[in-house]
A and B are shown apart, each in its own frame.
Chain A
Protein backbone atom coordinates (compact mmCIF):
# COMPACT_ATOMS: atom_id res chain seq x y z
CA UNK A 1 0.00 0.00 0.00
CA UNK A 2 1.09 3.54 -0.66
CA UNK A 3 2.52 5.17 2.49
CA UNK A 4 1.73 8.76 1.51
CA UNK A 5 -1.86 7.78 0.81
CA UNK A 6 -2.07 6.31 4.30
CA UNK A 7 -0.92 9.61 5.76
CA UNK A 8 -3.50 11.51 3.73
CA UNK A 9 -6.25 9.14 4.82
CA UNK A 10 -5.31 9.75 8.43
CA UNK A 11 -4.69 13.46 8.07
CA UNK A 12 -7.85 14.47 6.21
CA UNK A 13 -10.40 13.60 8.93
CA UNK A 14 -8.10 15.19 11.55
CA UNK A 15 -8.02 18.39 9.51
CA UNK A 16 -11.80 18.34 9.14
CA UNK A 17 -12.12 17.92 12.91
CA UNK A 18 -9.74 20.82 13.61
CA UNK A 19 -11.56 23.06 11.14
CA UNK A 20 -14.92 22.14 12.65
CA UNK A 21 -13.75 22.94 16.18
CA UNK A 22 -12.22 26.22 15.09
CA UNK A 23 -15.41 27.25 13.29
CA UNK A 24 -17.54 26.31 16.29
CA UNK A 25 -15.37 28.40 18.65
CA UNK A 26 -15.42 31.28 16.18
CA UNK A 27 -19.22 31.31 15.85
CA UNK A 28 -19.67 31.19 19.63
CA UNK A 29 -17.22 34.05 20.23
CA UNK A 30 -18.25 36.33 17.38
CA UNK A 31 -21.94 36.09 18.26
CA UNK A 32 -21.31 36.17 22.00
CA UNK A 33 -23.47 33.05 22.56
CA UNK A 34 -23.94 32.22 26.24
CA UNK A 35 -22.55 28.86 27.48
CA UNK A 36 -26.03 27.73 28.69
CA UNK A 37 -27.21 28.03 25.10
CA UNK A 38 -24.17 26.74 23.23
CA UNK A 39 -20.78 26.41 24.91
CA UNK A 40 -17.67 26.73 22.76
CA UNK A 41 -15.19 23.85 22.52
CA UNK A 42 -12.88 25.58 24.99
CA UNK A 43 -15.66 25.81 27.56
CA UNK A 44 -16.49 22.13 27.03
CA UNK A 45 -12.85 21.24 27.51
CA UNK A 46 -12.61 23.36 30.68
CA UNK A 47 -15.70 21.62 32.05
CA UNK A 48 -14.22 18.25 31.17
CA UNK A 49 -11.13 19.07 33.22
CA UNK A 50 -12.98 20.73 36.09
CA UNK A 51 -15.65 18.00 36.38
CA UNK A 52 -13.25 15.14 35.72
CA UNK A 53 -13.72 13.51 39.17
CA UNK A 54 -17.49 13.25 38.64
CA UNK A 55 -17.32 12.44 34.94
CA UNK A 56 -14.56 9.83 35.22
CA UNK A 57 -16.48 7.98 37.88
CA UNK A 58 -19.56 7.99 35.65
CA UNK A 59 -17.48 6.87 32.70
CA UNK A 60 -16.25 3.93 34.76
CA UNK A 61 -19.81 2.96 35.65
CA UNK A 62 -20.99 3.12 32.04
CA UNK A 63 -17.96 1.25 30.73
CA UNK A 64 -18.40 -1.52 33.29
CA UNK A 65 -22.07 -1.89 32.33
CA UNK A 66 -21.12 -1.93 28.65
CA UNK A 67 -18.46 -4.56 29.26
CA UNK A 68 -20.83 -6.78 31.23
CA UNK A 69 -23.54 -6.43 28.60
CA UNK A 70 -21.01 -7.11 25.85
CA UNK A 71 -19.65 -10.25 27.51
CA UNK A 72 -23.19 -11.51 28.11
CA UNK A 73 -24.05 -10.77 24.47
CA UNK A 74 -20.89 -12.46 23.16
CA UNK A 75 -21.36 -15.62 25.20
CA UNK A 76 -25.13 -15.66 24.74
CA UNK A 77 -24.98 -14.98 21.00
CA UNK A 78 -22.33 -17.58 20.24
CA UNK A 79 -23.91 -20.18 22.55
CA UNK A 80 -27.36 -19.70 21.01
CA UNK A 81 -25.91 -19.94 17.50
CA UNK A 82 -24.12 -23.18 18.43
CA UNK A 83 -27.34 -24.61 19.86
CA UNK A 84 -29.29 -23.59 16.77
CA UNK A 85 -26.63 -25.13 14.58
CA UNK A 86 -26.84 -28.45 16.41
CA UNK A 87 -30.63 -28.60 16.50
CA UNK A 88 -32.87 -27.30 13.74
CA UNK A 89 -35.92 -27.79 15.99
CA UNK A 90 -34.47 -25.44 18.55
CA UNK A 91 -33.65 -22.92 15.85
CA UNK A 92 -37.14 -23.00 14.36
CA UNK A 93 -38.68 -22.69 17.83
CA UNK A 94 -36.59 -19.84 19.20
CA UNK A 95 -35.17 -17.80 16.33
CA UNK A 96 -38.37 -15.76 15.75
CA UNK A 97 -38.22 -14.59 19.36
CA UNK A 98 -34.63 -13.49 18.95
CA UNK A 99 -35.80 -11.39 16.02
CA UNK A 100 -38.72 -9.95 18.03
CA UNK A 101 -36.33 -9.02 20.83
CA UNK A 102 -34.13 -7.31 18.28
CA UNK A 103 -36.80 -5.33 16.41
CA UNK A 104 -38.65 -4.07 19.50
CA UNK A 105 -37.02 -0.72 20.38
CA UNK A 106 -35.02 -1.20 23.57
CA UNK A 107 -35.99 2.26 24.81
CA UNK A 108 -39.54 0.91 25.07
CA UNK A 109 -38.49 -2.24 26.90
CA UNK A 110 -36.18 -0.53 29.37
CA UNK A 111 -38.87 0.99 31.67
CA UNK A 112 -40.48 -2.44 32.06
CA UNK A 113 -37.16 -4.08 32.86
CA UNK A 114 -36.52 -1.39 35.46
CA UNK A 115 -39.75 -2.32 37.20
CA UNK A 116 -39.01 -6.04 37.40
CA UNK A 117 -35.24 -6.11 37.80
CA UNK A 118 -32.76 -4.40 40.03
CA UNK A 119 -31.46 -1.33 38.32
CA UNK A 120 -27.92 -2.59 37.74
CA UNK A 121 -29.25 -5.89 36.35
CA UNK A 122 -31.80 -4.12 34.16
CA UNK A 123 -29.12 -1.94 32.59
CA UNK A 124 -26.97 -4.96 31.75
CA UNK A 125 -29.98 -6.83 30.34
CA UNK A 126 -30.70 -3.84 28.11
CA UNK A 127 -27.13 -3.83 26.81
CA UNK A 128 -27.41 -7.56 26.21
CA UNK A 129 -30.72 -7.33 24.33
CA UNK A 130 -29.34 -4.77 21.90
CA UNK A 131 -25.97 -6.44 21.39
CA UNK A 132 -26.57 -10.19 21.25
CA UNK A 133 -28.44 -10.34 17.97
CA UNK A 134 -25.59 -9.38 15.62
CA UNK A 135 -23.41 -11.96 17.37
CA UNK A 136 -26.13 -14.59 17.00
CA UNK A 137 -26.90 -13.89 13.35
CA UNK A 138 -23.25 -13.51 12.31
CA UNK A 139 -22.19 -16.68 14.09
CA UNK A 140 -25.09 -18.55 12.51
CA UNK A 141 -24.05 -17.27 9.10
CA UNK A 142 -20.44 -18.33 9.75
CA UNK A 143 -21.35 -21.80 10.95
CA UNK A 144 -23.43 -22.28 7.80
CA UNK A 145 -20.70 -20.98 5.48
CA UNK A 146 -18.37 -23.95 5.83
CA UNK A 147 -16.74 -25.08 2.57
CA UNK A 148 -18.79 -27.98 1.23
CA UNK A 149 -15.75 -30.01 0.24
CA UNK A 150 -14.12 -29.54 3.64
CA UNK A 151 -17.33 -30.73 5.27
CA UNK A 152 -17.19 -33.77 2.95
CA UNK A 153 -13.61 -34.38 3.99
CA UNK A 154 -14.56 -34.39 7.67
CA UNK A 155 -17.38 -36.80 6.86
CA UNK A 156 -15.02 -39.03 4.90
CA UNK A 157 -12.63 -39.29 7.82
CA UNK A 158 -15.45 -40.08 10.22
CA UNK A 159 -15.33 -36.89 12.27
CA UNK A 160 -17.78 -36.71 15.18
CA UNK A 161 -20.16 -33.77 15.55
CA UNK A 162 -17.97 -32.30 18.24
CA UNK A 163 -14.82 -32.67 16.12
CA UNK A 164 -16.53 -31.07 13.14
CA UNK A 165 -17.67 -28.22 15.33
CA UNK A 166 -14.31 -27.68 16.97
CA UNK A 167 -11.93 -28.17 14.07
CA UNK A 168 -14.07 -27.01 11.15
CA UNK A 169 -17.15 -24.98 11.93
CA UNK A 170 -15.80 -22.76 14.70
CA UNK A 171 -12.57 -21.77 12.92
CA UNK A 172 -14.51 -21.18 9.70
CA UNK A 173 -17.02 -19.04 11.58
CA UNK A 174 -14.37 -17.07 13.47
CA UNK A 175 -14.16 -14.13 11.02
CA UNK A 176 -17.96 -13.81 11.12
CA UNK A 177 -18.05 -14.06 14.92
CA UNK A 178 -15.43 -11.33 15.20
CA UNK A 179 -17.42 -9.16 12.79
CA UNK A 180 -20.51 -9.67 14.97
CA UNK A 181 -18.55 -8.77 18.11
CA UNK A 182 -17.34 -5.56 16.49
CA UNK A 183 -20.95 -4.48 15.94
CA UNK A 184 -21.98 -5.73 19.39
CA UNK A 185 -19.32 -3.58 21.12
CA UNK A 186 -20.87 -0.33 19.93
CA UNK A 187 -24.40 -1.62 20.46
CA UNK A 188 -23.81 -2.63 24.06
CA UNK A 189 -22.69 0.93 24.77
CA UNK A 190 -25.94 2.15 23.19
CA UNK A 191 -27.95 -0.34 25.24
CA UNK A 192 -26.25 0.78 28.44
CA UNK A 193 -26.87 4.45 27.65
CA UNK A 194 -30.53 3.87 26.78
CA UNK A 195 -31.13 2.00 30.01
CA UNK A 196 -29.31 4.63 32.06
CA UNK A 197 -31.43 7.38 30.56
CA UNK A 198 -34.59 5.40 31.27
CA UNK A 199 -33.41 4.76 34.81
CA UNK A 200 -32.11 8.32 35.22
CA UNK A 201 -35.57 9.84 34.78
CA UNK A 202 -36.68 7.66 37.70
CA UNK A 203 -34.07 9.43 39.77
CA UNK A 204 -31.36 6.82 40.20
CA UNK A 205 -28.05 5.91 38.59
CA UNK A 206 -24.62 7.46 38.12
CA UNK A 207 -23.47 6.54 34.60
CA UNK A 208 -22.54 9.05 31.89
CA UNK A 209 -25.99 9.00 30.34
CA UNK A 210 -27.47 9.77 33.74
CA UNK A 211 -25.06 12.73 33.98
CA UNK A 212 -26.31 13.99 30.62
CA UNK A 213 -29.95 13.79 31.72
CA UNK A 214 -29.15 15.36 35.07
CA UNK A 215 -27.13 18.19 33.51
CA UNK A 216 -29.99 18.81 31.10
CA UNK A 217 -32.39 19.48 33.96
CA UNK A 218 -29.85 21.86 35.50
CA UNK A 219 -29.13 23.60 32.21
CA UNK A 220 -25.47 22.67 32.66
CA UNK A 221 -24.98 22.48 28.91
CA UNK A 222 -21.15 22.40 28.92
CA UNK A 223 -21.23 19.28 31.10
CA UNK A 224 -23.74 17.65 28.73
CA UNK A 225 -21.29 18.20 25.91
CA UNK A 226 -18.37 16.94 27.99
CA UNK A 227 -20.24 13.74 28.91
CA UNK A 228 -21.31 13.29 25.30
CA UNK A 229 -17.70 13.67 24.20
CA UNK A 230 -16.62 10.97 26.64
CA UNK A 231 -19.32 8.61 25.41
CA UNK A 232 -18.24 9.20 21.84
CA UNK A 233 -14.59 8.55 22.65
CA UNK A 234 -15.56 5.42 24.57
CA UNK A 235 -17.45 4.14 21.51
CA UNK A 236 -14.49 4.80 19.24
CA UNK A 237 -12.05 3.08 21.61
CA UNK A 238 -14.33 0.04 21.95
CA UNK A 239 -14.62 -0.28 18.19
CA UNK A 240 -10.88 0.22 17.71
CA UNK A 241 -10.00 -2.41 20.31
CA UNK A 242 -12.32 -4.99 18.80
CA UNK A 243 -11.07 -4.25 15.29
CA UNK A 244 -7.50 -4.66 16.54
CA UNK A 245 -8.29 -7.98 18.21
CA UNK A 246 -9.99 -9.16 15.04
CA UNK A 247 -6.97 -8.16 12.97
CA UNK A 248 -4.50 -9.89 15.31
CA UNK A 249 -6.50 -13.11 15.36
CA UNK A 250 -7.05 -13.28 11.61
CA UNK A 251 -3.91 -11.71 10.22
CA UNK A 252 -2.20 -14.98 9.33
CA UNK A 253 -4.90 -16.37 7.11
CA UNK A 254 -8.07 -14.38 6.46
CA UNK A 255 -8.55 -12.18 3.40
CA UNK A 256 -10.03 -9.34 5.44
CA UNK A 257 -6.83 -8.99 7.47
CA UNK A 258 -4.29 -9.35 4.67
CA UNK A 259 -2.50 -6.50 2.98
CA UNK A 260 -3.72 -5.62 -0.49
CA UNK A 261 -0.49 -6.68 -2.16
CA UNK A 262 -1.17 -10.33 -1.37
Chain B
Protein backbone atom coordinates (compact mmCIF):
# COMPACT_ATOMS: atom_id res chain seq x y z
CA UNK B 1 0.00 0.00 0.00
CA UNK B 2 1.40 3.41 -0.90
CA UNK B 3 1.97 6.01 1.78
CA UNK B 4 2.04 5.68 5.55
CA UNK B 5 -0.60 3.75 7.42
CA UNK B 6 -2.95 5.92 9.43
CA UNK B 7 -3.04 5.29 13.14
CA UNK B 8 -6.19 3.45 14.12
CA UNK B 9 -6.90 6.07 16.77
CA UNK B 10 -7.98 8.88 14.47
CA UNK B 11 -10.82 6.77 13.17
CA UNK B 12 -10.08 7.36 9.50
CA UNK B 13 -10.09 4.22 7.36
CA UNK B 14 -9.00 5.67 4.04
CA UNK B 15 -7.36 8.97 3.27
CA UNK B 16 -6.38 10.38 -0.10
CA UNK B 17 -4.38 13.61 -0.08
CA UNK B 18 -3.93 15.62 -3.30
CA UNK B 19 -3.77 12.41 -5.28
CA UNK B 20 -3.31 12.57 -9.04
CA UNK B 21 -3.04 9.81 -11.58
CA UNK B 22 -1.52 10.37 -15.01
CA UNK B 23 -1.49 7.40 -17.33
CA UNK B 24 1.44 6.48 -19.56
CA UNK B 25 -0.38 7.91 -22.58
CA UNK B 26 -0.40 11.32 -20.92
CA UNK B 27 -4.08 11.34 -19.93
CA UNK B 28 -4.70 12.74 -16.49
CA UNK B 29 -7.38 10.51 -15.05
CA UNK B 30 -7.70 11.89 -11.58
CA UNK B 31 -7.17 14.81 -9.36
CA UNK B 32 -5.90 16.43 -7.48
CA UNK B 33 -8.30 14.46 -5.34
CA UNK B 34 -8.82 14.61 -1.58
CA UNK B 35 -11.01 12.19 0.33
CA UNK B 36 -11.24 11.01 3.92
CA UNK B 37 -13.48 8.09 4.75
CA UNK B 38 -14.31 7.34 8.37
CA UNK B 39 -14.22 3.86 9.76
CA UNK B 40 -17.57 2.18 9.23
CA UNK B 41 -18.78 4.82 6.79
CA UNK B 42 -20.63 4.02 3.56
CA UNK B 43 -19.45 6.45 0.87
CA UNK B 44 -20.39 6.52 -2.81
CA UNK B 45 -18.26 8.03 -5.54
CA UNK B 46 -20.66 9.25 -8.19
CA UNK B 47 -19.69 10.53 -11.60
CA UNK B 48 -19.91 10.06 -15.35
CA UNK B 49 -18.11 7.28 -17.16
CA UNK B 50 -14.38 7.89 -17.42
CA UNK B 51 -14.26 10.47 -14.63
CA UNK B 52 -11.61 8.56 -12.74
CA UNK B 53 -13.79 7.12 -9.99
CA UNK B 54 -12.65 3.60 -10.72
CA UNK B 55 -9.09 4.83 -10.77
CA UNK B 56 -9.59 6.27 -7.28
CA UNK B 57 -10.80 2.88 -6.11
CA UNK B 58 -7.89 1.03 -7.69
CA UNK B 59 -5.51 3.45 -6.00
CA UNK B 60 -7.05 2.70 -2.63
CA UNK B 61 -6.82 -1.04 -3.32
CA UNK B 62 -3.16 -0.68 -4.24
CA UNK B 63 -3.83 -2.04 -7.73
CA UNK B 64 -2.18 1.05 -9.16
CA UNK B 65 0.08 3.75 -7.72
CA UNK B 66 -0.58 7.49 -7.64
CA UNK B 67 1.46 9.83 -9.84
CA UNK B 68 1.56 12.26 -6.94
CA UNK B 69 -0.09 12.67 -3.56
CA UNK B 70 -0.60 10.23 -0.70
CA UNK B 71 -2.91 7.25 -0.36
CA UNK B 72 -3.24 5.97 3.19
CA UNK B 73 -5.28 2.98 4.29
CA UNK B 74 -5.64 2.01 7.92
CA UNK B 75 -6.39 -1.54 8.89
CA UNK B 76 -8.38 -2.72 11.84
CA UNK B 77 -5.89 -5.08 13.45
CA UNK B 78 -8.34 -6.70 15.86
CA UNK B 79 -8.67 -10.46 16.15
CA UNK B 80 -12.07 -10.69 14.51
CA UNK B 81 -10.62 -9.22 11.31
CA UNK B 82 -7.85 -11.75 10.90
CA UNK B 83 -7.42 -11.96 7.15
CA UNK B 84 -6.98 -9.58 4.27
CA UNK B 85 -8.07 -6.07 5.18
CA UNK B 86 -9.40 -4.90 1.84
CA UNK B 87 -12.06 -6.62 -0.23
CA UNK B 88 -12.63 -5.63 -3.84
CA UNK B 89 -15.68 -6.27 -5.99
CA UNK B 90 -15.23 -5.54 -9.68
CA UNK B 91 -17.78 -4.32 -12.20
CA UNK B 92 -17.86 -7.80 -13.70
CA UNK B 93 -18.13 -10.80 -11.41
CA UNK B 94 -14.53 -11.70 -12.39
CA UNK B 95 -14.86 -15.35 -11.43
CA UNK B 96 -12.53 -18.11 -12.55
CA UNK B 97 -14.71 -20.04 -15.01
CA UNK B 98 -12.82 -23.29 -14.42
CA UNK B 99 -13.46 -23.32 -10.67
CA UNK B 100 -16.62 -24.16 -8.73
CA UNK B 101 -18.29 -21.42 -6.68
CA UNK B 102 -16.71 -22.85 -3.52
CA UNK B 103 -13.21 -22.68 -5.02
CA UNK B 104 -13.75 -19.20 -6.37
CA UNK B 105 -14.62 -18.01 -2.88
CA UNK B 106 -11.69 -19.98 -1.48
CA UNK B 107 -9.17 -18.11 -3.63
CA UNK B 108 -8.10 -15.33 -1.23
CA UNK B 109 -7.71 -17.84 1.60
CA UNK B 110 -5.76 -20.27 -0.56
CA UNK B 111 -3.40 -17.50 -1.65
CA UNK B 112 -2.89 -16.63 2.01
CA UNK B 113 -2.12 -20.27 2.78
CA UNK B 114 -4.98 -20.82 5.23
CA UNK B 115 -5.56 -24.39 6.46
CA UNK B 116 -8.34 -26.18 4.59
CA UNK B 117 -10.58 -26.83 7.61
CA UNK B 118 -10.69 -23.18 8.67
CA UNK B 119 -11.06 -22.06 5.07
CA UNK B 120 -14.03 -24.40 4.54
CA UNK B 121 -15.78 -22.95 7.55
CA UNK B 122 -15.19 -19.38 6.33
CA UNK B 123 -16.36 -20.24 2.83
CA UNK B 124 -19.57 -21.69 4.24
CA UNK B 125 -20.07 -18.54 6.27
CA UNK B 126 -19.45 -16.21 3.32
CA UNK B 127 -21.76 -18.14 1.01
CA UNK B 128 -24.48 -18.10 3.67
CA UNK B 129 -24.10 -14.33 3.98
CA UNK B 130 -24.90 -13.85 0.31
CA UNK B 131 -27.58 -16.57 0.27
CA UNK B 132 -25.75 -19.00 -2.00
CA UNK B 133 -25.16 -21.94 0.32
CA UNK B 134 -26.94 -24.29 -2.08
CA UNK B 135 -24.76 -23.37 -5.03
CA UNK B 136 -21.30 -24.09 -3.60
CA UNK B 137 -20.61 -26.81 -6.16
CA UNK B 138 -21.96 -25.00 -9.23
CA UNK B 139 -19.75 -23.60 -11.94
CA UNK B 140 -20.00 -19.85 -12.66
CA UNK B 141 -21.55 -20.39 -16.08
CA UNK B 142 -24.48 -22.17 -14.43
CA UNK B 143 -25.41 -19.05 -12.45
CA UNK B 144 -27.42 -15.94 -13.34
CA UNK B 145 -25.78 -12.52 -13.46
CA UNK B 146 -27.04 -11.60 -10.00
CA UNK B 147 -25.84 -14.86 -8.50
CA UNK B 148 -22.40 -14.45 -10.06
CA UNK B 149 -22.21 -11.03 -8.43
CA UNK B 150 -23.14 -12.61 -5.10
CA UNK B 151 -20.27 -15.08 -5.51
CA UNK B 152 -17.98 -12.16 -6.21
CA UNK B 153 -19.26 -10.48 -3.04
CA UNK B 154 -18.78 -13.67 -1.00
CA UNK B 155 -15.20 -13.90 -2.25
CA UNK B 156 -14.58 -10.34 -1.07
CA UNK B 157 -16.19 -11.06 2.32
CA UNK B 158 -14.40 -14.35 2.98
CA UNK B 159 -11.30 -12.61 4.32
CA UNK B 160 -13.53 -10.61 6.70
CA UNK B 161 -12.24 -7.30 5.34
CA UNK B 162 -12.81 -4.09 7.26
CA UNK B 163 -12.79 -2.07 4.03
CA UNK B 164 -14.91 -3.13 1.07
CA UNK B 165 -14.28 -1.45 -2.28
CA UNK B 166 -16.96 -1.86 -4.93
CA UNK B 167 -16.54 -0.74 -8.54
CA UNK B 168 -20.00 -0.36 -10.12
CA UNK B 169 -20.76 -3.91 -9.03
CA UNK B 170 -24.44 -3.95 -9.95
CA UNK B 171 -24.32 -1.85 -13.13
CA UNK B 172 -24.96 -4.77 -15.46
CA UNK B 173 -27.90 -6.22 -13.53
CA UNK B 174 -31.61 -5.75 -14.09
CA UNK B 175 -33.37 -3.34 -11.77
CA UNK B 176 -35.16 -5.82 -9.51
CA UNK B 177 -31.99 -7.85 -8.97
CA UNK B 178 -30.11 -4.65 -8.34
CA UNK B 179 -32.62 -3.49 -5.69
CA UNK B 180 -32.38 -6.82 -3.90
CA UNK B 181 -28.60 -6.75 -3.93
CA UNK B 182 -28.70 -3.13 -2.67
CA UNK B 183 -30.75 -4.24 0.32
CA UNK B 184 -28.57 -7.27 0.98
CA UNK B 185 -25.46 -5.12 0.79
CA UNK B 186 -26.88 -2.63 3.32
CA UNK B 187 -27.72 -5.47 5.67
CA UNK B 188 -24.20 -6.92 5.37
CA UNK B 189 -22.69 -3.50 5.93
CA UNK B 190 -24.68 -3.05 9.15
CA UNK B 191 -24.01 -6.57 10.37
CA UNK B 192 -20.30 -6.69 9.58
CA UNK B 193 -19.64 -3.00 10.35
CA UNK B 194 -17.34 -2.51 7.37
CA UNK B 195 -16.20 0.65 5.66
CA UNK B 196 -17.68 0.62 2.15
CA UNK B 197 -16.54 2.76 -0.76
CA UNK B 198 -18.96 2.27 -3.61
CA UNK B 199 -18.38 3.55 -7.13
CA UNK B 200 -21.47 4.08 -9.28
CA UNK B 201 -22.89 6.25 -12.03
CA UNK B 202 -26.44 5.89 -10.71
CA UNK B 203 -27.76 8.80 -8.66
CA UNK B 204 -30.57 6.63 -7.27
CA UNK B 205 -28.28 3.85 -6.19
CA UNK B 206 -25.80 6.20 -4.52
CA UNK B 207 -28.50 8.02 -2.55
CA UNK B 208 -30.21 4.81 -1.51
CA UNK B 209 -27.05 3.17 -0.21
CA UNK B 210 -24.74 5.82 1.14
CA UNK B 211 -24.33 7.96 4.19
CA UNK B 212 -22.30 10.29 2.02
CA UNK B 213 -22.37 10.84 -1.74
CA UNK B 214 -19.28 12.34 -3.34
CA UNK B 215 -20.08 13.85 -6.74
CA UNK B 216 -17.14 13.94 -9.12
CA UNK B 217 -16.38 16.13 -12.11
CA UNK B 218 -15.44 15.08 -15.61
CA UNK B 219 -11.91 13.84 -16.20
CA UNK B 220 -9.58 14.61 -14.55
CA UNK B 221 -11.88 13.64 -11.69
CA UNK B 222 -12.21 16.06 -8.79
CA UNK B 223 -14.81 16.48 -6.11
CA UNK B 224 -17.66 18.69 -7.28
CA UNK B 225 -20.00 18.36 -4.33
CA UNK B 226 -20.71 16.23 -1.29
CA UNK B 227 -24.04 15.27 0.23
CA UNK B 228 -24.86 13.66 3.54
CA UNK B 229 -27.88 11.42 3.19
CA UNK B 230 -29.66 11.47 6.51
CA UNK B 231 -32.64 9.28 7.13
CA UNK B 232 -34.00 6.80 9.60
CA UNK B 233 -31.84 3.65 9.74
CA UNK B 234 -32.04 0.87 8.82
CA UNK B 235 -33.10 1.81 5.34
CA UNK B 236 -35.44 -0.41 3.39
CA UNK B 237 -37.70 -0.28 0.35
CA UNK B 238 -39.97 2.36 1.91
CA UNK B 239 -37.03 4.81 1.84
CA UNK B 240 -36.89 4.33 -1.93
CA UNK B 241 -40.50 5.53 -2.15
CA UNK B 242 -40.17 8.45 0.28
CA UNK B 243 -40.25 12.18 -0.51
CA UNK B 244 -36.93 12.62 1.30
CA UNK B 245 -35.28 10.15 -1.05
CA UNK B 246 -36.70 11.94 -4.08
CA UNK B 247 -35.44 15.27 -2.71
CA UNK B 248 -31.91 13.96 -2.24
CA UNK B 249 -31.94 12.46 -5.72
CA UNK B 250 -32.95 15.81 -7.20
CA UNK B 251 -30.17 17.66 -5.35
CA UNK B 252 -27.53 15.12 -6.29
CA UNK B 253 -28.68 15.05 -9.92
CA UNK B 254 -28.42 18.83 -10.12
CA UNK B 255 -24.91 18.70 -8.72
CA UNK B 256 -23.99 16.01 -11.22
CA UNK B 257 -25.22 17.99 -14.28
CA UNK B 258 -22.08 20.15 -14.78
CA UNK B 259 -20.05 16.96 -15.07
CA UNK B 260 -22.00 16.13 -18.19
CA UNK B 261 -21.69 19.54 -19.84
CA UNK B 262 -19.67 19.20 -23.02
CA UNK B 263 -20.33 15.48 -23.15
CA UNK B 264 -21.88 15.05 -26.58
CA UNK B 265 -24.32 12.25 -25.90
CA UNK B 266 -25.20 12.21 -22.24
Contacts and interface: CB of A to CB of B under 8 A. Distances in A.
Q: Do A and B bind each other?
A: yes
Interface of A: 147, 149-150, 152-159, 163, 167-168, 171-172, 174, 252-254, 258, 262
Contacts of B6: none
Where chain A touches its partner, the secondary structure class is: helix
Contact of B96 (A152, A159, A171): A171
A156 B62 contact: yes
A258 B86 contact: no
B141 A153 contact: no
Q: Which of B63, B86, B112 has the most CB of A within 10 A?
A: B63
Nearest to A164: B111
A159 B84 CA distance: 12
A151 to B, nearest CB: 10
A252 B139 contact: yes
Contact of A253 (B90, B107, B141, B159): B141
Closest CB pairs A-B (n = 3): A149-B94, A157-B108, A157-B111
Given A156-B62, A156-B88, A157-B112, A168 B141 contact: no
B141 A150 contact: no
Nearest to B62: A156
B92 A153 contact: no
Given A149-B94, A167-B107, A253 B63 contact: no
A252 B98 CA distance: 7
B110 interface: yes
B61 A258 contact: no
B98 A157 contact: no
B81 to A, nearest CB: 15
B168 to A, nearest CB: 12
Given A254-B97, A258-B141, A153 B90 contact: yes
Contact of B107 (A152, A153, A172): A153
25 contacts: A149-B90, A149-B94, A150-B94, A152-B63, A152-B88, A153-B88, A156-B61, A156-B63, A156-B88, A157-B84, A157-B107, A157-B108, A157-B159, A159-B111, A163-B111, A167-B96, A167-B107, A168-B96, A171-B99, A174-B98, A252-B98, A252-B139, A253-B139, A253-B140, A254-B97
